[in-house]
């Protein structure tokens, strides 16, 4: 089974802190994604990566950055957390030639 894991299920941070959300997949997938999920807005794509060290902006990249130094790991970074970044963050991966994405369990981030 494909497994996508996220470093934390719940996280509480203070405004202005630097926050790292980690995602690891164990199926050698080329593509990885970060979404945020908010009530009434569904899932919105923040960033994605289609190869190591490659990254592309999604629909709402402002206030976020990403890092992909190894194929299995994709990190989302909030350089200076703000209260409007309180949300559920979902990571996903997929192989290059297959269009189904596999999701992690999510990290619920609260910024106080």
3-class SS at 50?
A: coil
- Which of 8, 11, 13, 45 binds another protein (CB under 8 A)? It is 45
Strands 56-57 and 31-38: unpaired
Q: Does 27 bind another protein (CB under 8 A)?
A: no
Which of 16, 17, 53, 105 binds another protein (CB under 8 A)? It is 105
**25: which 2 tokens?**
């997949």
Considering the complex, state which of residue 87 and residue 101 has its C-beta at the smaller distance from another protein.
Answer: 101
Q: Which stretch binds another protein (CB under 8 A): 13-21, 37-45, 63-71, 78-86?
A: 37-45
Q: Which residues pair with 101 in a beta bridge?
A: none
DSSP 43-102: EEEEEEESSTT--EE-S--TT-EEEEEETTEEEEEESS--GGG-EEEEEEEE-TT----E
Binding characters for another protein, 46-85, by CB under 8 A (x = yes)? --x-xx----x-x---------------------------
Residues that bind another protein (CB under 8 A): 4, 30-31, 33, 40-45, 48, 50-51, 56, 58, 90, 92, 94, 96-106
């Amino acid at each position: 089974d494909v497994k996508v894991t996220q470093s934390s299920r719940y996280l509480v941070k203070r405004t202005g802190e630097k926050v790292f959300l980690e995602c690891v997949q164990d199926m050698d997938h080329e593509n990885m994604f970060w979404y945020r999920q908010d009530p009434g807005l569904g899932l919105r794509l923040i960033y994605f990566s289609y190869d190591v060290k490659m990254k592309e902006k999604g629909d709402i990249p402002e206030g976020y950055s990403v890092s992909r130094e190894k194929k299995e790991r994709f990190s989302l970074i909030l350089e200076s957390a703000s209260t409007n970044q309180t949300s559920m963050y979902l990571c996903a991966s997929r192989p290059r030639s297959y269009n189904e994405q596999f999701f992690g369990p999510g990290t619920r981030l609260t910024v106080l």
